[in-house]
């Protein structure tokens, strides 16, 4: 397991847009941290810098006890869940779940075990031989989650993972996510613009505005002192 620390992190995009300014944040081992704020406040940029999908302009990011500033995404020991699921269309559910582990040369028996466990946890066992095109939106989202779960105990980074689902499914997936985190206690950074989602899911919530941290606290404290 691992904590994630951002120290004085800036992101200035080419053209001069300052997307994130002087961000200091410590996400504790096992904590569910939500980054919330209106569109354009810099939450995706912050997450993408943790993932290594975006270079940082200034400051330092640590995952566990390692400074990861210049490490490529695949060497950061994190699992990412995207809004668009990013499943491989030509692979079955089982192959999609296994892919990230195969890439990392995990022994076959261990891969098999992890894929079975993740499928069981997410109710995907009946669909293992199907391809993504033959799944519903909610099932695809579960596969995307499963690809992160098989990588556990590596931290989960999630960017609006429920935003493509209809309202009803979003509420039920929110409950599943919460259960999953209560069970696995994996360090999680979760980006959303949805305040209800932030308040229900987060152990703590980090509120960003114009690239600047406004508040970081438990949902209860934020609710009491808005």
Q: Which residues bind ligand ADP (CB under 6 A)?
A: 13, 15, 17, 19, 37, 39-45, 79-80, 86-89, 99-100, 103, 147
With b for 16 or more beta-carbon neighbours within 10 A and e for fewer, the 76-88 pattern comes to bbbbbbebebebe
For ligand ADP, the closer CB: 86 or 196: 86
d(CA 90, CA 85): 14
Indicate the residue whose CB is closest to ligand ADP. Answer: 100
Closest distance of CB 177 from ligand ADP, Å: 17
d(CA 204, CA 92): 36
Closest distance of CB 191 from ligand ADP, Å: 6
d(CA 212, CA 183): 32
Alpha-carbon dihedral of residues 47, 48, 50, 56, nearest 10 degrees?
A: -120
For ligand ADP, the closer CB: 134 or 175: 134
For ligand ADP, the closer CB: 34 or 79: 79
For ligand ADP, the closer CB: 48 or 224: 48
Residue with tokens 């028996």: 109
Closest distance of CB 48 from ligand ADP, Å: 7
Closest distance of CB 134 from ligand ADP, Å: 15
């Amino acid at each position: 397991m691992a904590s994630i620390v951002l120290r004085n992190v800036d992101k200035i995009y080419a053209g001069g847009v300052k997307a994130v300014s002087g961000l200091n944040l410590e996400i504790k081992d096992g904590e569910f941290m939500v980054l919330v704020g209106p569109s354009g406040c810099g939450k995706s940029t912050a997450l993408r810098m943790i993932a290594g999908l975006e270079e940082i302009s200034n400051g330092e990011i640590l995952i566990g006890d390692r400074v990861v500033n210049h490490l490529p995404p695949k060497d950061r020991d994190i699992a990412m869940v995207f809004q668009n699921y990013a499943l491989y269309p030509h692979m079955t559910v089982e192959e999609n779940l296994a892919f990230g582990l195969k890439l990392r040369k995990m022994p076959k028996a261990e891969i098999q075990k992890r894929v079975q466990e993740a499928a069981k946890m997410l109710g995907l066992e009946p669909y293992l031989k199907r391809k993504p095109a033959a799944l519903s939106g909610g099932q695809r989202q579960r596969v995307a989650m499963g690809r992160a779960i098989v990588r556990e105990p590596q931290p989960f980074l999630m960017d609006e993972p429920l935003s493509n689902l209809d309202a009803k499914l979003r509420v039920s997936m929110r409950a599943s996510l919460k259960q999953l985190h209560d069970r696995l206690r994996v360090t999680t950074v979760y980006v959303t613009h949805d305040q209800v989602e932030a308040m229900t899911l987060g152990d703590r919530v980090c509120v960003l505005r114009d690239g600047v941290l406004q508040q970081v606290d438990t949902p209860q404290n934020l609710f009491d002192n808005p």
